[in-house]
């Protein structure tokens, strides 16, 4: 029995040291400290039990208990019941989303038209317009270098707008759908995508009416057959500084990367003789999380973002719609994500304006989902000058795709019991409401 206890002591030491190394690589200060203490205390407990003159039966019961707990945690107990698959019904007017409302110019014709249609939004929108605004030097989190870098990325995205659609080669090339799908996915991966997928373009993927740009108020009648969705990673260290400037900088950079990739693929498809349109920041005709879910990239969680298997919500999405024949993927419905989000609530707890619901999913605008208070969220952005990101930062799915976190994600997917265990361990190791990380050494801290 003592040999078995020594094996358990060695195994626990090796596991906890590996966890500590992972936390150190992630630059998670609290997790580094707690994992180090655990690496000292847990093996010591096993050694003390060996040294103490305990009856063999006591050690046997202890070892059996440890083994039973471990077995319970790793035995698959199903994804979860009580979270039925739901396909949204109806469509959303893009003019109603906060980014569109923020782009309205006071006293302009569109401004007056919008508030005649939606007078209920006026009081909320007047509130955020009194605040400094995103990337403003007068905002609460202003830092000149990271804010200017974010603005540079967003302005570069604007230059891509002329390429989102364009002329199509007159002679379409007939490529087998399997080959076309494999090529596009392979190229996206080479360009930097974490994941990609294909879905048939559905009516509910589309906004009803354009809400930004010169086509404001015009109906959207996109007739493409397929949609390609992909994700790009947001840097863990940069996001960890949320809600400070480096997170805004990283967010803008990945909008740019996703936009450039989407434009490249759309231009390529048009050169192959098939209609294609890129959907990028400020130029969307589709609701990217819905397209991403139906393309198999993940499930939509409590914070209203797509939860990808690899990185959770720590991604930005790009979409290309096209008539090029492709092979659709299986939709990303995952009840284990929905169940975990129903238990977790870390994003709701840390959200400064309380914009993320603590309540169960509910029907809203034809969709069964967690309702986000978008007015509260955007108003906070306008006060801080950044797009916050704290909800993404604390999400247990957002940890880097290391061996340890991959194992935890496997357990969450496969075990009802493991989800409860994983949440408690995440709270203990990283904290329920962690402080912002320090930025990389080349980025100045906000003064």
Task: Quote the pTM value.
Answer: 0.95
Task: Give whole-number Cα distances, 10 to 3, 44, 209, 220, 420, in Å.
Answer: 11, 10, 62, 62, 26
Q: Which residues pair with 364 in a beta bridge?
A: 367
**Rounded to whole angstroms, how far apart are CA atoms 35 and 384?**
33
Does pLDDT of 323 surpass 60?
Answer: yes
Per-residue pLDDT, 447: 53
Q: What are phi and psi of 108, to 5 degrees?
A: -80, 165
Q: Which of 19-33, 74-88, 300-314 has the lowest mean pLDDT?
A: 74-88
- The CB density around residue 34, as the number of other CB atoms within 10 Å, is 18
Per-residue pLDDT, 229: 98
Task: Give whole-number Cα distances, 415 to 6, 77, 403, 422, in Å.
Answer: 29, 5, 18, 10
Per-residue pLDDT, 87: 87
Residues 259-277 have pLDDT tens digits of 999 999 999 999 999 999 9
Q: What are phi and psi of 206, to 5 degrees?
A: -100, 145
For 140-146, what is the mean pLDDT?
A: 97
Does pLDDT of 78 surpass 90?
Answer: no
**Rounded to whole angstroms, how far apart are CA atoms 111 and 100?**
10
Residue carrying structure tokens 């609530």: 345
Residues 25-44 have pLDDT tens digits of 999 999 999 999 999 999 99
**Rounded to whole angstroms, how far apart are CA atoms 372 and 365?**
12
For 87-103, what is the mean pLDDT?
A: 95
**Residues 6+ away with beta carbon under 8 Å from 249:** 146, 147, 149, 150, 153, 238, 443
**Rounded to whole angstroms, how far apart are CA atoms 387 and 374?**
12
Classify strands 315-322 and 276-279 as parallel, antiparallel or unpaired. Answer: antiparallel
* Helix ranges (DSSP H) in 122-223: 122-129, 144-159, 177-191
For 49-73, what is the mean pLDDT?
A: 90
Per-residue pLDDT, 86: 87
Q: Which helix (H) or strand (E) holds 227?
A: strand 226-233
Does pLDDT of 396 surpass 70?
Answer: yes
**Rounded to whole angstroms, how far apart are CA atoms 390 and 146?**
17
- Domain borders along the chain are 2-80+394-430, 94-392
Does pLDDT of 116 surpass 90?
Answer: yes
């Amino acid at each position: 029995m003592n040999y078995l206890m020594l094996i358990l002591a060695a195994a626990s030491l090796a596991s906890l040291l590996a966890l500590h190394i992972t936390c150190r690589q992630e630059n998670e200060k609290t997790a580094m400290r707690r994992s180090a203490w655990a690496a000292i205390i847990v093996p010591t407990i096993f050694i003390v039990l060996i040294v103490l003159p305990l009856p063999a039966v006591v050690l046997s019961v202890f070892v059996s208990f440890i083994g039973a707990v471990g077995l319970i945690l790793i035995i698959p107990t199903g994804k979860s019941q009580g979270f039925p698959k739901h396909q949204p019904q109806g469509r959303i007017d893009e003019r109603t989303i906060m980014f569109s409302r923020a782009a309205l110019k006071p006293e302009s014709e569109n401004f007056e038209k919008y508030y005649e249609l939606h007078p209920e939004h006026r009081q909320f929108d007047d509130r955020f317009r009194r605040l400094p605004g995103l990337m403003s030097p007068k905002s609460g989190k202003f830092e000149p270098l990271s804010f200017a870098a974010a603005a540079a990325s967003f302005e570069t995205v604007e230059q891509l707008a002329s390429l989102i659609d364009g002329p199509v080669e007159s002679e379409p090339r007939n490529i087998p759908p399997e080959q076309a799908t494999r090529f596009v996915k392979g190229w996206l991966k080479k360009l930097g995508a974490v994941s990609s997928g294909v879905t048939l373009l559905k009516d509910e993927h589309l906004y009803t009416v354009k809400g930004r740009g010169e086509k404001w108020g015009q109906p959207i009648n996109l007739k493409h057959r397929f949609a390609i969705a992909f994700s790009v990673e947001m840097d863990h260290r940069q996001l960890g500084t949320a809600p400070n400037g480096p997170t805004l900088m990283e967010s803008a950079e990945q909008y740019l990367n996703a936009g450039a990739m989407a434009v490249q693929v759309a231009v390529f498809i048009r050169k192959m003789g098939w209609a294609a349109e890129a959907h990028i920041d400020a130029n969307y005709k589709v609701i990217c999380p819905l397209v991403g879910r139906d393309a198999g990239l993940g499930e939509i969680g409590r914070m209203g973002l797509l939860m990808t298997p690899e990185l959770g919500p720590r991604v930005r999405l790009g979409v290309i719609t096209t008539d090029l024949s492709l092979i659709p993927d299986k939709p990303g419905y995952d009840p284990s994500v929905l169940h975990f989000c129903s238990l977790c609530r870390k994003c709701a707890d840390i959200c400064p304006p309380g914009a993320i619901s603590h309540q169960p999913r509910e029907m809203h605008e034809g969709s069964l989902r967690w309702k986000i208070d978008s007015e509260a969220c955007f108003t906070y952005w306008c006060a801080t000058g950044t797009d916050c990101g704290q909800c993404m930062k604390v999400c247990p799915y957002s940890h880097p795709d290391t061996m340890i976190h991959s194992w935890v994600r496997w357990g969450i997917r496969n075990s009802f019991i493991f989800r409860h265990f994983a949440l408690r361990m995440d709270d203990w190791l990283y904290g329920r409401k962690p402080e912002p990380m320090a930025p990389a050494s080349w980025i100045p801290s906000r003064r």
